[in-house]
Amino acid sequence: MAFKIKRGDTVLVISGKSKGLTGKVLKIIPKKNRAIVEGANLVKKHVKRGPEGPGTIREIEAPIHISNLKLICPKCGKPTRVGFTFVEGEKKRMCKKCKQPID
Ligand SMILES: [Zn+2]
């Protein structure tokens, strides 16, 4: 099955602690159906003391399940469900709101 969300997409988080936040998809984890979204679902992570300096706490993005994300359509700018369509025999994603194919 083709993925509805891809790296580089802008998505809206629709559930969880980052609900309502929009961000860019930095990474997809296909095996887990999860994505890393820039600035969303931040968790604190301890970084051990190393050559760069003392130990510190950094915030990193934890993966979010794809079902908790909605694609922001690059054509109409609205959060939308993704469908599929064929353009010249090639399967493309499609915005269900404006019916435009999305790369
Ligand atoms: Zn659209």
Domains of the chain: 10-102 (2.30.30.30)
CA of 14 to the centre of ligand 1 (A): 17
* Each residue's pLDDT tens digit, 60-70: 999 999 999 99
User: Which pLDDT does position 53 carry in this prediction?
Assistant: 78
pTM of the full structure: 0.85
Taken as a whole, the chain contains a residue count of 103
CA of 59 to the centre of ligand 1 (A): 33
Token digits for 2?
């083709």
Cα-to-centroid distance, 83 and ligand 1 (Å): 11
Question: Which residues lie closer than 8 Å to 38 by C-beta, 6 or more apart?
Answer: 23, 24, 25, 26, 61
Average pLDDT taken over every residue of the chain = 93
